Structure 1
Amino acid sequence: MTKNYDTVIVGGGTGGYVAAIKLSQLGHQVAVVEKNRLGGTCLNKGCIPTKSFLKSAEVINTMKNAELYGITPHKPSFEMANIISQKDKVVNKMQTGIKYLLDKNKVDIYEGTATVLGPSLFSPLAGAVSVSYEDEEKESEILVNDFVVIAAGSKPAELPFMPFDGEIVLSSDDLMYMEDIPKKIAIVGGGVIGVEFATILNAFGSEVTVLEAAEHILPAEDKDVAQAVHKSLSESGVIIKTGVKLEAEGIDIKKDSVGLVIDGNTEVFDKAVVAIGRKANTEELGLQNTKVKMDHGVIEVNEFQQTSESHIYAIGDVTSSQQLAHVAIEEALIAAEHIMDNNPLQLNYDNVPRCIYTSPEVASIGPTTQQLKEKNTEFKTHKLPLSAIAKAVIEDGGEGFIKLNVSPEGDILGASIVGAHATELINQLSLAKFMDASALELSSAVFAHPSVGEIIKEIGLDAEGIAIHV
């Protein structure tokens, strides 16, 4: 069966469904093809479920450390099945919401596997999309279109000598449905995914060891940010070992354990989580039938998300941009506007916030201090403790800091926040940076008192040499 659409979206994740809704609003007849569940990795196996787990972990830690708030501490009891059930309630509610929005915007949904076809009797150009189904009795369909948006997302990357088995060697996907909390677990990779799961599993009662090949965890962030997270995780009982490079001959995977050679010694764990990054889902899309250029499985695009086939676009994790849901959303809007011959505002990736939901939270924007140094950029760093702000002290003792890098003219180049509500506060700095606000303008804005956000005004004042509370 053949059907015609203006645009077909391959992938119903965060970027895919946003692109579909935007294009429908702009007048296109749109179809989305999704082989798993609407919402993609972010909703089903990433951002949202992990934050549900992290909220459960936060409640556990708050109860255990209630003396910080003048309350008798209590060691809570819990069933993992109930925590998973709560996570599933949130996910299902949000997924229902996405289905409602797509229906509201008259977007057709195909629950099958998409394959991009080359030039054929259906279309003189590559890009028609074949949809096949698990039910072999259900006839496949051909979606003929003028434009295609590839939004197929990514999957956890494996180590060649530690392939995922779902039992002993786990991916972050596998952790979404863990029935029992392992007594002793290794997390291979100290990046964002690794440290977030270290926070979760430690709160749930596991003895956690994080193994990172670089000289410090969170290697994409400044050292002082990484050190703050390292200190906090260590104080909570997480063991962190950096400069660890695992080798194939040092891995011993058994039916109920895994042995890892670390610093010359073998240490045995109940399970190991490999969290070394994510790999673009481009292998089975049929892109070899097109002239779309790829580099090691990553689709090459221009500033408007166009591939080398001008009517085929790609957004989100299948491209080389930051693998963040909010990046996929912005790229979806840019692609949709460009398809409609509008003139979309190009995305400045230096204005994209990066959030890490550990305890304390971490959020950053713009180049790191080290990156600015490597580019020989002239700048000055201003850094203040959150303990200067009463609301931050009330929240968690004022743990953490804010750091602002500014140009000699006072322009905001980058910033990092470690501490209470960091992942919310970074939005204020994101807006300021987008609006090209200066440190002086930050210092001149009125911030509510008491609020943790007052630290943003204070760092603006400090950059002008007129700080009040430090």
Structure 2
Amino acid sequence: MDEFDIVVVGGGSGSQVATAAAEEGLEAAVIEPGPLGGACITRGCVPSKALIHRADVVDEIRRAERFGVDATLEDVSYGEITSSIRETVYGKAERQAKSLEKAKNVALYRGEGRFVDERTLEVDPTDDADGDEPRRVRGETIVVAVGGRPTVPPVDGLEDIDFLTSDDALYLDERPDELVVIGGGYIAAELGYFFGALGAEVSIVGRSEQLVPREDDDVSAAVTDGLERYCDLHTGYEAAEARETDGGVAVTAEPADDGGTDGDGSGAVDLEADDLLVAAGRRPNTDTLEPENAGVETDERGYVETDEFLETSVDGIWALGDVLGDEPYKHAADYEARVVATNVLETVKRAVDYGAMPHAIFTSPRVASVGRTEGELEEDGREYESARVSYDAAPLGVILDPGEAFVKVLAAPDGEILGCHVVGPRAPTLIQEVVATMDGGGTVDDVANAAHVHPALSEVVYATFDELSSSPYSTAPDWRDVGDE
């Protein structure tokens, strides 16, 4: 049996804890059956956003006329795009693996780990691992960071046909001419936009009345309206049956409990396509880990239960990333890795705090959010004030002609920032000053009183916070109302 001070199960963000421990002179091990870097690098964030960037370029060319630019799109080399991205991201994963293998005091085990007891894991090696016999690894401290995988919903006939998930839809050699997408969350929205912008006929089936229903209602409405330019939306419907056809697949969608929005909402919809993409969320990989053998408690969905310090029900076993289910984002997992590293390697205890944890959705329009939604505040009976300012309140917003784009701020009467939601170009970048202010305990006035570059889109953030500011002197002009001088 191989013994270590710390064992990390999962080669994504969790490996940061292993390298931090190694730098402190501890012996660490990382267990990972797939590419290093986790799902983000090879099956999620990085390749999907690389594809979406190509979709943005195509979309800009097709809509260039609105800027007085006569441009024609001759062709899209789809296979070259996907193969190039695959080569890039898997190359990065391989370099990361080699770096970890060379790191002092870190051992890399290529295989799938499962608990044998509270401190021991058995590693079943992958085909390309050294040796073909299972090995046992013991750690005084163990970090569970095994990530997640796509969820397959209970749709009749789905198990009998070939379908795509977000894991394998990223590297197709050819673009489908027609595609049905099951799911209405951010993964379905992003991939629906990608394929639709590149010319596929995309139909999205989502249970809720709007796409991305967990977002603020104004955000969900904007994303839904935006995706209608690229996809046929069947919101308020759920997939009931899937079957093969001579040329591909067919899906029967029926109104969800609250009724669909197609037609009169009373009948089923039959959709046919070349391919079916199931993007109905993700589930934790804890079932492969057999956490019950170690006494690690999980909830009914399989997510690991932890305290505020990210320690599980077993002393010395910690968890981070997608196995927690709270914030399923790479940047959240990186943050959690820092929290776990602090609590494992230092004498102080650091509690996790998601109050200023942002996220983004890479559709057209772009979306970025931090904090609470208006619906959540109303449900909690929380007193709040809100302001919503469109991009054309700033000169650069007018120049960009972004369409329906806005910044929305929710704040307590005392100026505490409760939430901020940005819809439009560069939203993931614009949200960051709000995140930094919230993380530092700042208020509405702290954003409104800071100088913002002119002309820049950040002036839209400035103008929105200025509407809620207690400062008696406003210096944020609304460019929608400024006349010729």
Work out whether the TM-score is over 0.5. yes
Aligned partners of 1:101 and 1:395: how far apart in 2? 43
* Distance change in 2, residues 1:281/1:167 (3 Å): same
Aligned partner letter, 1:133: P
Kept in 1, the 8 Å contact 2:25–2:105? The answer is: no
Identify the residue that residue 124 of structure 2 maps to in structure 1.
Answer: 132
Give yes or no for the alignment of 1:367 onto 2:369: no
Identify the residue that residue 27 of structure 1 maps to in structure 2.
Answer: 25
Aligned partners of 1:384 and 1:76: how far apart in 2? 38
Identify the residue that residue 261 of structure 2 maps to in structure 1.
Answer: none
Aligned partner letter, 1:420: P
The worse-fitting range, judged by mean Cα deviation, of 353-362 and 327-336 is: 327-336
Kept in 1, the 8 Å contact 2:358–2:435? The answer is: yes
Aligned partner letter, 1:92: Y
Once the two structures are superposed, what CA deviation does each residue of 1:210-263 show, in whole Å capped at 9, x if it has no partner? 1111121110011211111122221x231112110222xx43333642222233
Give yes or no for the alignment of 1:245 onto 2:238: yes
The worse-fitting range, judged by mean Cα deviation, of 378-387 and 165-174 is: 165-174
Identity among equivalent positions (%) equals 28
Match of 1:330 among 329, 335, 339: 335
Kept in 2, the 8 Å contact 1:216–1:242? The answer is: yes
Match of 1:258 among 249, 258, 262: 249
* Distance change in 2, residues 1:176/1:105 (3 Å): farther
Match of 1:313 among 295, 304, 318: 318
* Distance change in 2, residues 1:92/1:169 (3 Å): closer
Aligned partners of 1:316 and 1:201: how far apart in 2? 28
Offset, 1:52: 0.6
* Distance change in 2, residues 1:404/1:111 (3 Å): same
**Tell me, what secondary structure is at the counterpart of 2:372?**
coil
* Distance change in 2, residues 1:321/1:462 (3 Å): same
Aligned partners of 2:406 and 2:111: how far apart in 1? 47
**Tell me, what secondary structure is at the counterpart of 2:288?**
coil
Identify the residue that residue 93 of structure 2 maps to in structure 1.
Answer: 95
Kept in 1, the 8 Å contact 2:193–2:230? The answer is: no
Offset, 1:100: 5.5
Kept in 1, the 8 Å contact 2:222–2:404? The answer is: no
Offset, 1:164: 6.4
The worse-fitting range, judged by mean Cα deviation, of 134-143 and 294-303 is: 134-143
* Distance change in 2, residues 1:345/1:457 (3 Å): farther
Aligned partners of 2:292 and 2:304: how far apart in 1? 12
Aligned partner letter, 1:212: G
Kept in 2, the 8 Å contact 1:163–1:169? The answer is: no
Count of aligned pairs: 458
Give yes or no for the alignment of 1:177 onto 2:162: no
Identify the residue that residue 476 of structure 2 maps to in structure 1.
Answer: 468
The worse-fitting range, judged by mean Cα deviation, of 81-90 and 431-440 is: 81-90
Kept in 1, the 8 Å contact 2:342–2:350? The answer is: no
Aligned residue runs from structure 1 range 315-464, under 5 A: 315-397=320-402, 399-464=404-469
Aligned partners of 1:317 and 1:164: how far apart in 2? 25
Aligned partners of 2:157 and 2:429: how far apart in 1? 36
Identify the residue that residue 135 of structure 2 maps to in structure 1.
Answer: 141
Identify the residue that residue 153 of structure 1 maps to in structure 2.
Answer: 147
Offset, 1:79: 1.9
Offset, 1:362: 0.2
Aligned residue runs from structure 1 range 110-125, under 5 A: 110-118=109-117
* Distance change in 2, residues 1:155/1:451 (3 Å): same
Unaligned runs of 5+ in 2: 254-266, 479-485
Offset, 1:369: 0.3
Identify the residue that residue 5 of structure 1 maps to in structure 2.
Answer: 4
Offset, 1:134: 3.5
**Tell me, what secondary structure is at the counterpart of 2:193?**
helix
Aligned partners of 1:49 and 1:162: how far apart in 2? 31
* Distance change in 2, residues 1:396/1:48 (3 Å): farther
* Distance change in 2, residues 1:163/1:309 (3 Å): farther
Identify the residue that residue 67 of structure 2 maps to in structure 1.
Answer: 69
Identify the residue that residue 213 of structure 2 maps to in structure 1.
Answer: 219
Aligned partner letter, 1:207: E
Kept in 2, the 8 Å contact 1:316–1:328? The answer is: yes
Aligned partner letter, 1:214: S
For the aligned residues, what is the CA RMSD? 2.1
Offset, 1:11: 0.6
Identify the residue that residue 121 of structure 1 maps to in structure 2.
Answer: none
Offset, 1:421: 0.5
Give yes or no for the alignment of 1:109 onto 2:115: no
Aligned partner letter, 1:83: I
**Tell me, what secondary structure is at the counterpart of 2:212?**
coil
Offset, 1:398: 5.6
Offset, 1:303: 1.1
Aligned partners of 2:107 and 2:327: how far apart in 1? 29
Aligned partners of 1:288 and 1:112: how far apart in 2? 20
* Distance change in 2, residues 1:304/1:398 (3 Å): same
Unaligned runs of 5+ in 1: 119-125
Once the two structures are superposed, what CA deviation does each residue of 1:400-445 show, in whole Å capped at 9, x if it has no partner? 0000001000110001000110011112111111111111111111
